[in-house]
Every structure is written in C-alpha cells, then in structure tokens.
Amino acid sequence: MAIVKYGIVGIGMMGREHLINLHHLRDQSLSVVCIADPHPPSQLLAIELARSFGWELKVFSGHQELLKSEMCDVIVVSSPNMTHHQILMDIISYPKPHHVLVEKPLCTTVADCKQVLEAAKKRLDMVVQVGLEYRYMPPVAKLIEKVNGRDFGNIKMVAIREHRFPFLVKVNNWNRFNVNTGGTLVEKCCHFFDLMRLFAGANPVSVMASGGMDVNHKDEVYDGKVPDIIDNAYVIIEFDNGCRGMLDLCMFAEGSKNEQEISVTGDIGKGEALVPEGIVRFGSRAEGRDHVQTIKAEDERIKYEGLHHGSSYLEHLTFLSAIRGEGRADVDLEDGLMAVAMGVAAQLSIEQRRYVTIDEVLSLE
C-alpha cells in the first residue's frame, strides 16, 4: 500500500494534536512530511514532537510554499479560523490535487463558506472533509446509531448542554476576538449545531438566542483591546421537520462532572450521551423510568484518546478511507456551511435581540 504523505498547515495546539493522532495511525501506511506555520515557537515544538516519532519535517513559513513543494498528498488545515478561507481557496485552486481535512469552523462567515463550497465542486479529484469530530466520540456515535435505527421514533427535541472551562490561550490570543473566530457560537458551538442537524435529520429554519460575556476575559487587554467573545448562551433552533434543538452553553462551569450532556427525545423514546463519562442512557415511553438502560460506550479501534476522547483518531481513520477511494467525506462542506450558518444566526440573534431565519443568514454576502 502506497504511503500517504501529510502536510499540516497551522501547527499550534490543534496542529500538534493532529500530528500525534497521525503518529498513532502510522500502521495505516502514512507519514507527516511537512508543516507550515509563521510562528517559530510552534515550529520548534512540532519538530521536536515529530523527531520523537522518527519523522523529519520540512518546515515552511506559509501554506503557499508548502503547496508549491508538492511534497504531500493530504493537507490538514488547523490554522486560526480567520485564515481558513484563503488557505482553502489556494489549495482548491492549486493544479496538483490535495485532499483536505480542515478544522472547524469551515470559515468564519457564511459567504466564505459558500465560496469554498462552490470552488470545491469543480475538484472531483479532491476529498475535502470538515473537522466536526464530535460525531465520532463513542457515546455520541452510539446515540447517532440509535437515532438512525429509529429506537426513539421520530425525533422531536434535541437538548445539548456544554458546561466547561473558558477558552484556552492560543498563539497571539487570536481566539479572544469575534473578528478572528466568527464568535463563540461559530468557533465552539458549530460542533453542537452539526450534531443537532444530524439528530433532527433536517435543516434549520430559524434561530432565537440570548447570551453574553458575563464572567470570562473581562479583565484581559490585548493591544489595547478588551476581548468580545461571549461566555454563555441559550440557543433555540427550529428545523424544517418540526424538530427543535436547544443549546445551553456556559464557559465558566469548571465544577461540572460532564462537559457535554446530549439528550435526544423522540415520540417513542429518549437517549442521552454524557461526555467525558462515556455513558449512554436510553429508554422508551412504554417501559418508563424503571427500564432505562445505561451502557459505557467504547470503540476498540481507538489507540489514542487525545483532547477529544478518541474522536480525532476515528476522524482521521474515516478520512483516510475516503481518500483511498473507499467512500466520501463523512462530514462534507455542506455540513460545514450549515454549522457555521447556525452559529452566525445565533450570534446575530443575540446582537440584535431578535429571531433570525437561516435563509436570511445564507443570503449574507
């Protein structure tokens, strides 16, 4: 089997996380051969990490140089959110095809997502997948399996609670500002909007949200600017099949046992996934509370848990299958666009204190 050669654009925290995951997948005939990042400290950390795996990396300061080297078959884009659009457009327009795994969010604006999607339609020689890897977390995957198997009947309500710690510190504090991230509900919550759409089996119609920046980052100043990212929100989404989704986000909730609690309720039953406990609970209306089952969800394929409970490992495994011609992108550009559109609508609803339709957001230029 031919060795698949990977390059990573953006080798900060998530870039190095991808590097480690790919190391644990080396029995799949792959290697990381090059990286691109303008930040020397990040370059050095990646070089040291790769050497500990027996990989020597060619280092570039930017993605253009990496592209022109034509060293790799696959590019993982894990640079800051606001850089995704230009990097993706350059990769897609480059004559030599490169398969792409782009970290979430796809881009920071709907218009940029749409432009990438349209450009990629012309490249049938490339697989482009979006890094919405929460789908692969074992308890979430088990819930998806049960929803698809119609264990709960027609899904009517999806409630997702994320109660966690504040945003981590990133290079040059880029993630402290909406202009760079797309806003908290795009940056962080595109994962949950993607899951809601998946569970609902439908597309969103309208969004109503309330949120604010009430605790975190208020005493931080960078280049004379105070951060503007919200740290808590409630978001309600209506889908075109009548299903409703709700997100309860709090980023100053370190005292939580589980970071994510996902509840999916249909007309005949209900299921819950708890992360990081890895617990899935499910029951039917007919059998009631006394017959609710609890299982520990695990996936024996996972060789590295990493930052996201093994989901990044499984993401790379399925992406590798797609690029070897055994399937298509599990999470495609349409999925990436819709997750961003839902986040943008929620941000707009909070800013303007009103109901926002998805059609309105999808028409934004």
For 262-301, what is each residue's pLDDT tens digit? Answer: 999 999 999 999 999 999 999 999 999 999 999 999 999 9
Q: Is the pLDDT of residue 106 over 90?
A: yes
* Contact between 327 and 93 (Cβ < 8 Å): no
- H or E, element range at 128: strand 128-131
Q: What is the mean pLDDT of residues 191-209?
A: 98
Q: Which residues pair with 222 in a beta bridge?
A: 225
Order of strands across the sheet that contains 99-103: 58-60, 30-36, 4-9, 74-77, 99-103, 128-131
CATH superfamily of 134-304+334-363: Dihydrodipicolinate Reductase; domain 2 (3.30.360.10)
pLDDT of residue 328: 77
Listed residue (51, 91, 73, 53) closest to 3, CA to CA: 73
Fold category of 4-131+319-328 in CATH:
Rossmann fold (3.40.50)
Of the listed ranges 138-152, 215-229, 258-272, the least confidently predicted one is 215-229
Q: What band does 325 get if pLDDT is binned at 50, 70 and 90?
A: confident
pLDDT of 12: 94
- Segment 7-30, tens digit of pLDDT: 999 999 999 999 999 999 999 999
Residue type, 145: E
Count the neighbouring beta carbons within 10 Å of the beta carbon of residue 14. 22
Using the predicted structure, report yes or no on whether residue 135 has a pLDDT greater than 70: yes
Which among 169-173, 222-226, 312-316 has the top mean pLDDT? 312-316
pLDDT of 364: 81
**Confidence band of 326 (pLDDT split at 50, 70, 90):** low
Q: What average pLDDT does range 243-257 have in this prediction?
A: 98
H or E stretch covering 75: strand 74-77
Give the pLDDT confidence score for residue 1 in this predicted structure: 79
Residue 156 has pLDDT above 90, yes or no: yes
How far apart are the C-alpha atoms of 189 and 306, rounded to whole Å? Answer: 20
Domain boundaries, the chain: 4-131+319-328, 134-304+334-363
Structure tokens at 223: 């280049």
pLDDT of residue 52: 96
Kindly state the average pLDDT of the residues 169-177.
Answer: 90
Q: Measure Cα distances from 282 to 185, 194, 257, 258 in Å.
A: 28, 21, 19, 17
Return the half-sphere exposure (C-beta side, CA atoms, 13 A cut-off) of residue 77. Answer: 31
User: Could you tell me the maximum CA-CA distance found in the chain, to the nearest angstrom?
Assistant: 62
Residue 251 has pLDDT above 70, yes or no: yes
211 strand-pairing partners: 233
Joined tokens for residue 182: 């797309």
pLDDT at res. 327: 61
67 φ, ψ (degrees, to nearest 5): -60, -50
**In the predicted structure, residue 105 carries a pLDDT above the cut 90:** yes
pLDDT at res. 231: 97
